[in-house]
Structure 1
Amino acid sequence: MTDCGCDKAKAELEEYLHNELCSADAQDIRDHLANCPDCTSEHHVGRVLTEAVQRACKEAAPEELRAQVLASLRSLQATH
């Protein structure tokens, strides 16, 4: 078990949340989170935020809103 410390854990937390770290670095972060309540709390907040953004990105705008936005954009393009 290697504890990478708070500085590294916090600096790499976003990459960890998105599974963008190599396995050794990810394991270092996991080991640190297992023993650091402060970093574990930040990890929890990051995970909740990431999941909320992922859900929001899956939603589609209502068709009426999409049509209004497209009409506004076309109108703006026509005048410029």
Structure 2
Amino acid sequence: MGDCQSLGDCSDERIARLYEYLDGALSVEDLKDVREHLEHCDDCTEEYDLECIIRSVVKRSCQEVAPDTLKTRIMTRISEIRVEVGHG
């Protein structure tokens, strides 16, 4: 397993395995291979770190709940639009 100078030096398959690694979709042997690669490839490590940040932000965003007042305003506006276009 050699060092990579840029993401261009890593195959698309290698990059795809980073996502599988994050998803927990690899065998024990493949997990070891990806971990070893990350120890030697700064660019893949940066890609991995960026994906971790993105996943964290998305997860946090998906846990936020809109206030009931906003939901009510949206539903009211939908009803108004339906009446305006003759569907209500």
**TM superposition score category, shorter chain reference:** 0.7 to 0.9
Deviation at 1:32, TM superposition (A): 0.5
Give the equivalent residue in structure 2 for 1:65: 70
> Alignment identity in percent?
31
Q: Matches of 1:51 and 1:75 in 2, distance apart?
A: 37
Equivalent residue for 1:35? 40
> Is the alpha carbon distance of 1:20 and 1:72 closer, same or farther for their aligned partners in structure 2, counting shifts above 3 Å?
farther
Q: Matches of residues 1-80 of structure 1 in structure 2 within 5 Å? A: 3=1, 6-7=10-11, 8-75=13-80, 79=87
- Structure 1 unaligned blocks of 5 or more: none
Moved more, 10-19 or 36-45: 10-19
1:8-47 per-position Cα deviation (integer Å, ceiling 9, x unaligned):
3312222211222222222211110011001001001000
Matches of 1:73 and 1:19 in 2, distance apart? 41
SS at match of 1:61: coil
CA RMSD of aligned residues (A): 2.4
Query: Which consecutive unaligned segments of at least 5 residues does structure 2 have?
Result: 5-9
In the superposition, the TM-score normalised over structure 2's length comes to: 0.70
